[in-house]
Amino acid sequence: MRRGLAPVLENAQIIRVEQRRENLRFPFPDRFAERLEGQRVTDVARRAKFLLVHLEDGLVLIGHLGMSGSFRIEEGGDDFSPDAFTHERSKSAAHDHVVFYLSRQDGRPARVIYNDPRRFGFMLFADGAAINEHPSLSGLGVEPTGNSLDGEVLSTLFAGKKTPLKAALLDQRLIAGLGNIYVCEALWRAGLSPKRAAGTIATAKGKATVRSTRLAENVRAVIAEAIAAGGSSLRDHVQTDGSLGYFQHSFSVYDREGEPCPRKECRGTIMRIVQSGRSTYYCPSCQR
DNA sequence: CGATCCACCTGTCGGC
DNA sequence: TGCCGACAGGTGGATC
């Protein structure tokens, strides 16, 4: 989502903000629209699943999509009249909660629209000078992107933990940014049971193990592939241009209960179990 | 501190 | 066809 928004938002000026309701998951900040209007966007960043829109006066707009949130971009013609926007989608307009009207450097208008049927998403303000101290970000663990997550890091994080691997990987205080789908997929690729105690792939001193290294490699690979594919779109969850991400076509286990395990030479069947209230999909035959 | 459950809200799908 | 319950990408707060 960040990659989709950055080309349109960066260096654009926010001309007007239409806030169509008082709250999403949380109330909007006081004077939400007024504090954004007139400002230029200096940077569009991300931490874990939080979108960070930096503004010229140091304010940061923190956005989160929750379960069902999405942004879409509508490119304008010569002005902001309704006719100037060609991709109006009346289907979801009932849940269009915020509209950002932008003036870009090339002079062409655009708008960025936040849609969220369940309203589990939210938008907050933070101080750019102390962005990592914001309550939503201060407790977050390591990023699963890039090359920093390796067997040693995982072993250190999981050492001594009796909590199931599934729960440990979802714990944003340890690794920040993995969701239910990618945890299921990474565990399947690594051949590790979601029920195994997290500490059993680690050593007491946090030394890399065969299993922690294999899991770290597969976590990184799943995330990298999903980003390259434009994310995982379920139902109406879309990219900024309105198209669906297509990583969901690559799922090996997620939402595949009852199907044969896709691993070569494995004759197991994908099972669905519930762990800490969330669905886990895995192959009991090859994930140990 | 850690583990577990629940709340938040709307839409969709499967079963009857 | 319609109704009803189960379930859905996540976070954060309450309660042990």
pLDDT digits (tens, 9 = 90+) for A97-113: 999 999 998 888 999 99
Answer whether CATH 3.20.190.10 is correct for domain A2-133. Answer: yes
Mean pLDDT for A76-84 is 53
Q: A220 CA to B16 C1', in Å?
A: 44
**Which nucleotides of strand B are protein-proximal, with an atom < 7 A from a CB?**
2-13
A118 CB neighbours strand C below 7 A:
yes
Helix, strand, or coil (residue A32): helix
A256 CB neighbours strand C below 7 A:
no
Among the listed ranges A77-81, A202-206, A248-252, which one has the minimum average pLDDT value?
Answer: A77-81
Show the tokens assigned to A165.
């691997």
Please tell me the predicted confidence (pLDDT) of residue A91: 47
Helix, strand, or coil (residue A279): strand
CA distances, A264 to each of A22, A156, A260, A268, A288 (Å): 52, 32, 11, 10, 16
Q: Which nucleotide is nearest to A245 (CA to C1')?
A: C9
User: What distance in Å separates the CA atoms of residue A236 and residue A92, rounded to the nearest whole number?
Assistant: 9
The residue ranges of DSSP E strands in A145-277, in sequence order, are: 271-275
Amino acid whose CA is nearest the C1' of C12 = A136
Among the listed ranges A146-150, A164-168, A172-176, which one has the minimum average pLDDT value?
Answer: A146-150
Q: Which nucleotide is nearest to A92 (CA to C1')?
A: B11
Q: A244 CA to B15 C1', in Å?
A: 29
Q: What average pLDDT does the structure give for chain A? A: 89
Percentage of chain A beyond pLDDT 70 is 88
Please tell me the predicted confidence (pLDDT) of residue A108: 86
Q: Which nucleotide is nearest to A26 (CA to C1')?
A: B8
Q: A162 CA to B14 C1', in Å?
A: 37
Q: What tens digit of pLDDT does each residue of A228-276 get?
A: 887 665 444 566 666 666 666 678 999 999 999 999 999 999 999 999 8
**Identity of the residue numbered A156:** T
Kindly report the backbone phi and psi dihedral angles of residue A167, in degrees, each rounded to the nearest multiple of 5, phi listed first: -70, -35
Q: Which nucleotide is nearest to A122 (CA to C1')?
A: C11
A20 CB neighbours strand C below 7 A:
no
Q: A164 CA to C15 C1', in Å?
A: 21
Which CATH fold topology does A146-282 show?
A: Helicase, Ruva Protein; domain 3 (1.10.8)
Helix axes A210-228, A180-190, angle to 10 degrees: 130
A235 CB neighbours strand C below 7 A:
yes
Q: Could you state, in order of their start, the residue ranges of all structural domains in chain A?
A: 2-133, 146-282
Amino acid whose CA is nearest the C1' of C7 = A279
Residues, CB < 7 Å to strand B? A 25, 68, 94-95, 117-120, 161-164, 167, 235-236, 276-277
Q: What pTM value is reported for the model?
A: 0.92
Mean pLDDT for A44-59 is 97
A237 CB neighbours strand C below 7 A:
yes
Quick check: do A2-133 and A146-282 share a fold?
A: no
Please tell me the predicted confidence (pLDDT) of residue A80: 56
Mean pLDDT for A74-87 is 55
